[in-house]
Homo-oligomer: A and B are copies of this chain.
């Protein structure tokens, strides 16, 4: 954590100084007439977006929710490794690590070969492959994830809090947008109905530059832009319950997929705190157009189904913290914003949908909340960059392009996974039926580990993601993939840390310069030449895009990683751009230069970096690798930024 740059402040450094310049003071009660961004829905998707925007007090954001207050229980609980990396960027990964259950291993159970009426363990595997992420796969009540985001928002300069008890009634986009005529500054008008006592039924009108629908599978925002979820019929019913129970099932504290011979399947997800467990229980197939609610399934029904599946083990439920039954099909919107495909070249989006509003799937792969939050993370920095006049609004097209592709992949995966999960297990190798061999299911699970961890996502080349022409300079930093962190030692204070943890959710780009062979301080070094270019050349992106008077790293944050051990280097010989003077006092920032960590593994080896030539790795504000370029790829670097950045005022 860096703080005290502009003077010592007492108290919690996570609580930012409240902004007083941008008229953020809220009206005593009620919504303002105009906002920059209106977020509809304070679930994980909306909160991720709101937490990102709250970092920028210049941007007026409001987030609405129908609920009367914060979420208390239930719903999603899976937190993939990649999501933990994002939480680290937001600054609360350590809180999740402390509270959550860690999914270390997964076990598989199938009918016992000799006594098919009893289940038996068929396999047990490490859940996440070694080295995939510095974070574990974790499980925590969605309500706590909300709490952490709410703290981030509350402590941010904008002091953002959700406006609860508000339902979107109507959303209209100024028609002049489609006609291509001069657009108004706040072209989206939302009509909002209050549902809180004393204000029930009261309508509020808000004009917004941008509206984001994070309002779930029945999204009113989605309907207002004329889009629909399309896909499979929701004909599989599931039950889920969070329980405190006594059982002799041995793997009750492991994630476990249990296939019984004739009683159905269930998934065990141990929960935080050491005692609670979640059970997902497969229920009956539904007829076409049948809703599970029509079946009047009770908690007793779920408990007895679980007891039958777990036979011969017992399950005695002592308390039910939360339960639900639901049907879910795999459904997807064809586009995640308001611009029809044929108008992409003529106007930019003003309304977006994210999370369950544009993709729904089964919860069994633990993906829903994760992919949805990362929708919010993808969109947040783009909206902020446009509203701060750093980037052209054309980058907003990339949200749908990137995230709709991810959602499509997820849905394909989920369909396959759900099918395998629900299939009758083969009881022996001789079984020729349409059942699934439990060993096959386990193999599929292992193969898709990177996908479920969220680390396999790769955005395609676009204005925000370079073409992989120089990927060989850093094979381990796949262009379009998330920056895969590795251990380093910070030169100035010899601190062992993760390089990726310098990438905070602050809207900045990171340019990591991995030095080539030789003395990095030598006048001939490629690192020094790069620093000279970035500091002095008129076409330097740092010069072009950093506003006058702002800290030199406030838009593009240059960091260097050297090959030498840290004690062989002298911090005072580093180029001045790597020891920048910042803030109102011109204090030096000593946290820009790193060396490999011999105890943690050499980052050059771990990530396949060309030791002779070194390279630049450019990382987007959402932690995805935007480009890999040679250390002297000045023109390519400048051209890349030129594609979407606006020169600073």
Residues in chain A within 8 A of chain B (CB atoms):
1-5, 7-8, 10-13, 72-73, 94-95, 97-99, 101-102, 104-105, 124, 143-144, 147, 242, 244-246, 248, 250, 252-254, 270, 272-276, 318-319, 321-322, 492-496, 567, 570-572, 581, 583, 585-591
Contact = CB atoms under 8 A, between A and B. Distances in A.
Contacts of A495: 102, 104
A101 B12 contact: no
Q: How many copies does the complex hold?
A: 2
Contact of A244 (B95, B492, B567, B587): B587
B244 A7 contact: yes
Nearest to A567: B124
7 contacts: A4-B244, A4-B275, A5-B274, A12-B147, A94-B97, A94-B98, A246-B585
A253 B492 contact: yes
A225 to B, nearest CB: 35
B585 A274 contact: no
Contacts of A12: 144, 147
Contacts of A322: 8
Given A274-B589, A275-B589, 5 more contacts: A5-B275, A8-B276, A101-B493, A124-B567, A250-B571
A97 B1 CA distance: 10
Contacts of A244: 4, 7-8, 585, 587
B493 A272 contact: no
Contacts of A590: 252-253, 274
B250 A572 contact: yes
Contacts of A7: 244, 319
A94 B494 CA distance: 20
A583 B585 CA distance: 57
Nearest to A320: B8
Contacts of A144: 12
A3 B274 contact: yes
B496 A587 contact: no
A494 B588 contact: no
A144 B7 CA distance: 17
A494 B274 contact: no
A4 to B, nearest CB: 4
